[in-house]
Amino acid sequence: MAATPQKEDPLIPRTGNYKKLFSYQKAEAIFDITKYFCRNYLKWNDRTVDQMVQAARSGKQNIVESCAASATSKEMEIKLVNVGKASLQELLNDYEDYLRSGEHRQWEKDSIELKKMRELGRKHNDTAFYMSLIKTRPPETIANIAICLIKQTDYLLFKQLQSLGEDFLNNGGMRERMTRMRLNRRK
């Protein structure tokens, strides 16, 4: 009985669905919250508005772009996830500046508000949930909600980077994949 040839993985694998990533879902909610916040509570001609919206957009869009790049460049995938993470850190700083400069309270580490928001953040990732929540809150509460979600997303992106790094160390990138496949084909 002849051995059946094993089906090879494709050279260029299909990339994952970024919309299923919790990091993307939270980043999308952060983007929508930020647009709402800036439109309703900041002066439209303030340069901070553009900066905040762009940082929120960059956080989300770099996750999308990293998924698209993952098929051919693990290095680019890792770099883009990190750019998204860095953009969200910039946005975090803008929200903290808003609270500080407006002499608003930032929720303390052990405050009841932060504990409840963390719990909501663990249960919900969808924009619709957060948009219904923020439309009934004052701006300083919205800023605190955004801060909490950004920190949760930052953690998810950190874990994602660790996983991508480990995958790269174990499996290599495109060149290693091409070499393995070429050698297997020759056998």
Count: domains in the chain: 1
Q: What is the pLDDT of residue 55?
A: 98
Q: What is the pLDDT of residue 68?
A: 84
Residue 8 counted as domain residue: no
Q: What is the pLDDT of residue 8?
A: 60
Residue 162 counted as domain residue: yes
* Per-residue model confidence as pLDDT tens digits over 138-181: 999 999 999 999 999 999 999 999 988 887 666 665 566 656 65
Query: Which residue reads 């790094």 in tokens?
Result: 165
Q: To the nearest whole number, what is the mean pLDDT of the chain? A: 88
Q: Find out whether 55 and 87 touch, Cβ atoms under 8 Å.
A: yes
- Is residue 136 over pLDDT 50? yes
- Is residue 110 over pLDDT 50? yes
Residue 5 counted as domain residue: no
Rounded to two decimals, the pTM is: 0.84
* Per-residue model confidence as pLDDT tens digits over 33-76: 999 999 999 998 889 999 999 999 999 999 999 988 776 678 88
Residue 144 counted as domain residue: yes
Q: Which residues form the domain of 126?
A: 19-186
Residue 103 counted as domain residue: yes
Residue 49: strand, helix, or coil? helix
Tokens of 4: 């059946």
Q: Which residues contact 58 (CB under 8 A, 6 or more apart)?
A: 83, 84, 87
Per-residue pLDDT band for 13 (boundaries 50, 70, 90) equals: low
- Is residue 4 over pLDDT 50? no
Q: How far apart are the first and last CA of the chain?
A: 19
